[in-house]
Amino acid sequence: MEKRNQTVAVVGAGDFIGSAIAEKFASEGFTVFAGRRDGTKLAALADRVTAGGGRLEARSLDARVEDSINAFLQEAEAHAPLAGCIFNVGANVNFPVVETTERVFRKVWEMACYGGFLTGREAARLMLPRKEGFIFFTGATASLRGGVGYAAFSSAKFGLRAVAQSMARELGPHHIHVAHLIIDSGVDTAWVRQRIADREGAEALEKLDPGRLMRPAAVAEAYWSLFQQPEDAWSFEHEIRPFAERW
């Protein structure tokens, strides 16, 4: 692995998608700054990356707090120039709209949208003087469709998509690549498997159709392919789904 003197920040480095993204960029020579609410949960990830010859710095951060995001990205930048930033905080909930509390609605927005705005803005401030960098956001089916029970979640995801679009239009001419990855399926995480078990019974997990869930590593590959695009052929919106997904 060729080391690069550049950092990549992953905001929302959960056990599955976020970790896979962090591992991918670390395996390509970047020093990855990985942040999540409780940074101590990143120990296993850090060990895997280090064992593979990569470099990863684990941090606790709260993406809903301006100073926390700011400090996290500033530290990455101080370590080595921030090449890119990926915002991957999730907040998937489902409630009938009349049972959605104002607390849930606000919290989901703060995590999935407001945190994305803060992250994108702070990253842009670091990248603009260099006229270089990428800022990627993780979207979902709910980014495009307000389905039954998704008033809170889709509202936040729609809002995040708007932030990403405005940023792409403003920052593209400054050579900063802003993209929005729409994962239009379930991803193979513990949480999704649990939800399938709850809804369809434990045996549904045993005979899970191939082509139903996306591997976290496939999400990481999608981000990597966005990173590799030449600047005369950038994608803003990038949708991915398994071959057998119904859409």
- Residues numbered 150 to 169 that lie near a copy of itself (CB under 8 A) are 150-152, 154-169
Name residues contacting a copy of itself, limited to 75-114 (CB under 8 A). 96-98, 100, 102, 105-106, 109, 113-114
- Minimum CB distance to a copy of itself smaller for 31 or for 119: 119
User: Rule CB under 8 A: is residue 24 a binding residue for a copy of itself?
Assistant: no
Nearest-approach distance from CB 73 to a copy of itself, in angstroms: 13
Nearest-approach distance from CB 235 to a copy of itself, in angstroms: 6
- Minimum CB distance to a copy of itself smaller for 204 or for 218: 218
Binding mask 31-60 for a copy of itself (x = CB under 8 A): ------------------------------
- 119: Cβ contacts below 8 Å, ≥ 6 apart: 11, 63, 69, 73, 85, 87, 135
Rounded-to-integer distance, Cα 245 and Cα 160, Å: 24
What DSSP designation does 150 have? Answer: B
User: Rule CB under 8 A: is residue 227 a binding residue for a copy of itself?
Assistant: no
Binding mask 169-188 for a copy of itself (x = CB under 8 A): xxxxx-x-x-----------
Residue 59 β-bridge partners: 35
Tell me which stretch binds a copy of itself (CB under 8 A): 9-17, 20-28, 55-63, 213-221.
Answer: 213-221
Contact 40, 68 (CB under 8 A): no
Rounded-to-integer distance, Cα 123 and Cα 59, Å: 17
- Minimum CB distance to a copy of itself smaller for 46 or for 135: 135
Nearest-approach distance from CB 105 to a copy of itself, in angstroms: 6
Number of residues that bind a copy of itself (CB under 8 A): 78
Nearest CA-CA partner of 174 in 234, 129, 122? 129
Give the sign of the dihedral formed by CA 191, CA 192, CA 197, CA 203.
negative
Rounded-to-integer distance, Cα 172 and Cα 145, Å: 26
Give the sign of the dihedral formed by CA 5, CA 8, CA 9, CA 12.
negative
- Minimum CB distance to a copy of itself smaller for 31 or for 185: 185
- Minimum CB distance to a copy of itself smaller for 46 or for 181: 181
User: Rule CB under 8 A: is residue 208 a binding residue for a copy of itself?
Assistant: no
The residue from 28, 62, 75, 245 that contacts a copy of itself (CB under 8 A) is 245
59-82 burial by CB neighbour count: b if 16+ within 10 A, else e?
bebbbbeeebbbebbebbbeebbb
Residue 82 β-bridge partners: 7
Name residues contacting a copy of itself, limited to 126-145 (CB under 8 A). 128, 142, 145
Rounded-to-integer distance, Cα 103 and Cα 236, Å: 32
Rounded-to-integer distance, Cα 1 and Cα 105, Å: 44
